[in-house]
Structure 1
Amino acid sequence: MTQGVVQERRNLRVGLFVTCLVDLMRPSIGFAAVKLLEDAGCTVEVPSQTCCGQPAFNSGDRATTRAIAEQVIEAFRGYDYVVAPSGSCAGTIKTHYRELFDDDPNWRPRAEDLSARTYELTSFLVDVLGVTSVDATFKGQVTYHDSCSGLRELGVQNQPRKLLSSVQGLSLVEMNESDVCCGFGGTFAVKYGDISAAIVEAKEKNIEATGAPTLLAGDLGCLMNMAGKLTRDGKPIVVRHVAEVLAGMTDEPPIGQPKPKAAESG
């Protein structure tokens, strides 16, 4: 792709799909995503939105998922692209919305249109905009976990690594079985708690074995699950979303750690 083509594509109107977890638990990821997209030349808007419907979909509740999907399709109508800092939410919209409307000639084309415009954040930056580097600094070693949906549904693997390689001071140490599930899986962790706990325990050992003091990934659900395990076991490993590091926005406490209380006056 030539630089001219890349620059032409960067004058885009992008709708940010924030995701429920980011909105409720870690808004800094959303702000980091906006910074990365604006730095790449995009105009970013955040329309009023709901859940992507993934919990209902994974639980087999197609009626509820369809109702949610219709709201999402309407909310993001008219944007050049829809971008989410989450492989699982982007995967739900991009790969599963179409099958929800197989029998509906009115909604199927609209679902297909949204699917074609939806991307995970790092994939959009690299694959659509042609971004090869970011202006950020992060001192030290990190390791990276490939979240299941982003990797298997969207092919997100090399894109975050390519961008991380441009971060000044950062050294990536690959973990063994980086592409193996962390045990979260949304409702899976609730339905099959014992299995989930065994999976995240194995993941914890692989994270520790790298010797890297920081763990990154592209899905907050996975990060919260791994951070919870590491914290319960007293492991001093910092956990962050990859967007926070790529945007140079690491002032917030690591995932799984509370913000320090403000000093009382008087």
Structure 2
Amino acid sequence: MTIRLDALSAASATAVILAATLLAGCGAGGSPSGADDQSGQSSSAQSGTSNSVSIDDLGLVNPGTLTVALATTDPPSSYLNDNDEPDGYNVKILEDIAAQIGIPIDWKAAEYSVHIPNIANGTWDTATQGALVTEERLKQVDFSTPVSFAQARLVSLKSAPYATFADAAGTRVGVYTDALQAAAEKEIPNVEIVKYEDNAALLNALRAGQIDAYAMGQNTALQQRSDNDDLALSDPITTGEVAIPLPKGNTALVQAFDDALAKLAANGTLAELHRTYNTGVDIPQELKDAYPEFAE
């Protein structure tokens, strides 16, 4: 396994420390789930992809290797585990796809904010960012078939809970991303949106009475409720399709990913990974509907 930190994060000192940590975690042993070793010595490596397209025709940044931007602190999608190895739902999906194609992965640790721009400019082949498919992003990159569907919850106080987004009509609702703002504005009649910098600021504002609730991605919302017994959650809503970003116009690579994902859906791997890494979250019906042979 090869893991390198590209000089693209804001703090160079942090980058040096993280690079050392990543390299230290690449000793002997395979991936944490027992998947094939990504060092290039995998016994499953073949001369062609899962759909018999030559690896040489995939237009990879580095021929014969899948170069992947790695987010190291975004569980459950992508992070470093206790052994300093790449782990997470999106990481395991990419490892399985690479194994089907028959190529090793070269991990490049970098912040999420630079993933899509550097796929678009030809620096990397893909990323562990399970990205919402939006019109703006489709101008920069292409996407695989879905790996999930993003869901959100409305977080409120148990003393004044909201069972659904619509129940919060006419209230002040906090958000910290444009996607969550769009979801809140769509689902909550006459809502007043208040923007915050991060999760901690949202929670503080809720407890201080500055907002009546805040919109949050489902996994984070569930974790916050687990950690704070004064919080209540609404029913979930679906906020968009999540897929793997790939270079614009590279139809061969997109097709190889789509073929591999169809097999992971049909043999139950996609469902198993979703249950493993999204504890307590039902598999979205939209994800099941995206694959005619989806197996649980």
User: Could you say which TM-score interval applies, normalised by the shorter chain?
Assistant: 0.3 to 0.5
1 or 2, which has the higher strand percentage? 2
Larger CA Rg, structure 1 vs 2: 2
Structure with greater contact order relative to length (CA < 8 Å, sep ≥ 6): 2
1 or 2, which has the higher helix percentage? 1
